[in-house]
Amino acid sequence: KFVGQRLGSFEILSLLGAGGMGEVYKARDTRLDRAVAIKVLSPHLALDEAFRARFDREAKAISQLSHPHICALHDVGHHDDVHFLVLEYLEGETLATRIARGAIPVDQAITLAVEICGALDNAHRHGVTHRDLKPGNVMLTKTGAKLLDFGLAKSSPAGADGMTMTSPITA
């Protein structure tokens, strides 16, 4: 839908995937001349204040985190009624895709588990609970595993256990 268009200074190159809240595109940041991933909130969801708030929560949750095994947030944008996140562009495949090809050798599985646990530990130390950990939300890159998609994340004060909810975030 957005391929060939621009969102601000970002030139949309190709569709990478789609999910419950929108689509993810490969784009070129024309200011810094680098590849980025653009996560666009679906236009029909952008009309719903609750979904816009959820999208904003995702941005705020990711912005609190800096870890080698968590996909970095570069920017948040709004252009012509399109809400989007600008994320680190990652080359590789999801853990789900890798698992579909067959068993992962034990030594590699342990390395991946340690990397994912390190990312989760970092998030929890910053008061962010991912809440959607699954193979499709882990990207395998040349430099290791990267945790993606904090769309269902719950933030609480740093150091809080995050286990007690006073109101639901999802229906």
Catalytic site residue from 81, 132, 149, 161: 132
- CA dihedral 43→44→45→47, nearest 10 degrees, is 90
Q: Does the annotation count 132 as an active-site position?
A: yes
Residues facing residue 22 across a β-bridge: 41
Handedness of CA 160, 165, 166, 167 (dihedral sign): positive
Question: What is the β-pairing status of strands 93-94 and 128-129?
Answer: unpaired
Determine the distance from the C-alpha atom of residue 24 to the mean position of all C-alpha atoms in its chain, rounded to a whole number: 10
Cα 60 from Cα 85, distance rounded (Å):
11
Residue numbers annotated as active site = 132
